[in-house]
Amino acid sequence: MDIVIHHNPDCSNSRNVLRLIRDAGYEPVVVEYLQTGWTRGQLQALFAAAELTPYSAMRKERSPAKELGLLEDNVTADQILDQMLLHPSLVNRPIVACKKGVALCRPPERVLDLLESWPSGPWSKEDGTLLIDADGNRV
């Protein structure tokens, strides 16, 4: 199964999702979107597949969203998309795409819904939070 992760290596959620995918036995295509940027079509397709709007996919904290006026009530989806193209960090992460679907994987355990097989348990996030118990069950 081909898996693509739109990844920010500085983000613990993104690192946890990538490690979870790899520990499950997959080698995903890793797109470091802060380096590659986005295209409008790419964002529109990902958001549509994940049932997101530009607003719901936007990183609102620790991003330039407020300074750019994107949190105001009168901002349109096109205006948000325009700014996401200029400021890739506005897109919340990680976004994972595979044959089972596309999802914004925040919190990281959301990626489990996309994987046909999971890593052996127990499996914990970087901070020690258990996601999969010793019996292989989601916590």
- Catalytic residue numbers read 11
Spatial separation of the C-alpha atoms in residues 108 and 37, rounded to whole Å = 22
What is the three-class DSSP state of 99? Answer: coil
Distances (CA, A) of 107 to 23, 40, 103, 129: 17, 25, 11, 12
Q: Give CA–CA dist 101/3, Å, rounded.
A: 10
The answer to whether the bond into 88 is cis (omega within 30° of 0) is no
- Determine the Cα–Cα distance for residues 91 and 101; give it in Å rounded to an integer: 18
